Amino acid sequence: MERSAIKMNSGNNGSTGYLDRIRRARGANFCKNTLLRTERGNRQTAVRLINDDRLLFATLFVLQPEIRERGLYRELSGRNRTALNICQKIMSAKYPSDGTGSEISLKSEEVHSAMLWMLNTGAADDGLSSDFDQVLDITASVLVKTHHEKTVLPVMADLIFRRNRRGVYNHDMVWAFFQARDPQSLRLLASRLRSPSRKDVELARLLLNIPENTPLNTNRDKQKQYEDYLAWLDENSPYVYFTGESLQLTNAPCVCGVNQEAKYLCKDISPRYNRPLTPLTEEELANLEQFHEAKGEEQAVLATFSSSLHSQNQSSWSQWMQYPVGRQIDIAKYGRRELV
C-alpha cells in the first residue's frame, strides 16, 4: 500500500534505466564510476544513459558532481537540465553557484513538468541523503503552492507516513501537504487510521485533530473512527477551511475548521480564504442576521440541520429557511412535521 501511490504516479510505468539498476544493485559510487568509465570510452553512450526517459531522479541527483566534472550538462535532455537547475536553485543558499543556471522561474511549465518527475520518481528513494530529502520537500511545496498541483498529494502522504515510521524529519512535508488546502486530501490521512502500524494511526490522529482519548486500539475502533471521519468530511467538505496551523506552531495543530455560517446557508466557501465563493444575496444576508441571534450551540444545531435538509429536500429546506430563527431551532431540535 505504501508504494502504490508512488508507482502509480511515477510516469515511467515502474521500469528503470540502466544507471538506476546499477545504483540500486551496487550503490551510488559504483554507479558514478560506471558513468565515468562509460564517458571515457564513449561520451555519447554516457549521455544516452543519463538521458534515458526511464531514469529516476535519485540517480540524476547522485550523479550531479560527475555530470559537472565531465562537462555533460549541456548535452543533457531538457528535463534533466531543468531538474539540475532546480536542485541548484534549492541548494543555492548552501553552496555557491557554479553557473548551471539556478536563476530559473519556478512558475514555468517546464519546471512544473520536471518537478512532477522529480517527486514522483524520487519519492521511492527518500532517505538517500539529507540534501536529497530537502529537495523532495521543497519540490513538493513548490508543486502544491505555486502550481496548485494536487496529483502529488498521495505521494506526499506516503512520504509523510514513511518518514514518521523511520523517525525522521517530516514537518516540512506535512506543512506542504496542507498548503494544498484541499478538503478531499484529508481522506488520504484518514485512511491511515486503519493502518496496522501504531505510528501511522497516531500521526493520522494528530494531523486530523482527533481527540487523544479517542479509542483507536482495535481494528473495530479504527474502522469506526475512519468511517466517522469520512461521514464528517462528507457532511462538511463544502464548508471546510484551512487554518494554516502547522507543527512549527503547535504540538496539536487544528489544520481545518468548519464555517458554520456557510453550512447554515449551504453556501460553498473557499478553503483558503474562509469566504463564500459567490457574494451573499440580500436574502442570505437576512438569514445570516437571524442565524447570529442564535446561541453558539444552537448555531451548530441549525447549521447541521440545514445542510442535512438541503441535501435531502431542497424545497423543504427553502421553506424552513423562511421561518423565524426560533421556529427553525424548534424544528431542528424536535422534528420537522411542520414542513410540507
Partner 1 sequence: MIVIAGNTVQPDSVGEYAPGGVEKAILDQLAANGNNTYDSVDQLKFELTLRKEIMEASKQLYRSGMGFEIFRETRCNPDYWKRTEEGGFLLKSGVKPSKAIMDIYENGSKYGTECATAMMIVYYKALLTVFGDTLFDKTFPKIELMNWHHIDPLLREVGYIVKRDVYLPGDRRYFANPDVDPLVPQWQGENVIDLGGDQYYGHGIGIRSAEQIIRALNQNRSEDADEEAHLLDSAGRPNFKRLYGISRRAAA
Q: Which of 125/284 has CB closer to partner 1?
A: 125
Q: Which of residues 124-143 bind partner 1 (CB under 8 A)?
A: 130, 133-134, 137-138, 141-142
Q: Given its phi and psi angles, is residue 209 left (phi above 0), alpha (psi -120 to 50 degrees) or beta?
A: left
Name the residue nearer to partner 1 (CB basis): 180 or 193: 180
Q: Which stretch binds partner 1 (CB under 8 A): 23-31, 183-191, 196-204, 243-251?
A: 243-251
Which triple of cell numbers denotes residue 132? Answer: 536529497
Residue 322 within binding range of partner 1, rule CB under 8 A: no
Cell 517546464 -> residue: 110
Residues 99 to 118: which contact partner 1 by CB under 8 A?
A: 106-107
Segment 42 to 101, residues that bind partner 1, using CB under 8 A? 89-90, 93
Nearer to partner 1 (CB atom), residue 245 or residue 268: 245
Q: How far is the CB of 20 from partner 1 (least distance, A)?
A: 25
Distance set, CA 160 to CA 184, 187, 246, 254, 285 (Å): 17, 14, 14, 17, 42
Out of 9, 100, 113, 146, the only residue in the binding site for partner 1 (CB under 8 A) is 146
CA-closest candidate to residue 273, choices 233, 237, 236, 240: 240
Residue 172: closest CA among 188, 185, 160: 160
- For 178-211, b/e burial (b = at least 16 CB within 10 A) is bbbbbbebbbbbbbbbbbeeeebbbbbbbbbebe
Toward partner 1, which CB reaches closer, 172 or 200? 172
Binding marks (x or -) toward partner 1, 264..283, rule CB under 8 A?
--------------------
Q: Which residues pair with 75 in a beta bridge?
A: none
CB of 168 to partner 1, least distance (A): 5
Q: Rounded to the nearest whole angstrom, what is the least distance from the CB of residue 260 to partner 1 in the complex?
A: 17
> How many CB atoms are closer than 10 A to CB 141?
17
Indicate the residue among 83 and 90 with the shorter CB distance to partner 1. Answer: 90
Cα dihedral 248, 249, 250, 253 sign = negative
The CA distance from 144 to 156, in Å, is: 10
**Using CB under 8 A as the criterion, what x/- string covers residues 166-205 for binding partner 1?**
xxxx-xx--xx--x--------------------------
Nearest to 45 by CA among 36, 32, 56, 58: 36
- Binding interface with partner 1 (CB under 8 A): 89-90, 93, 106-107, 130, 133-134, 137-138, 141-142, 144-146, 166-169, 171-172, 175-176, 179, 244, 246-252
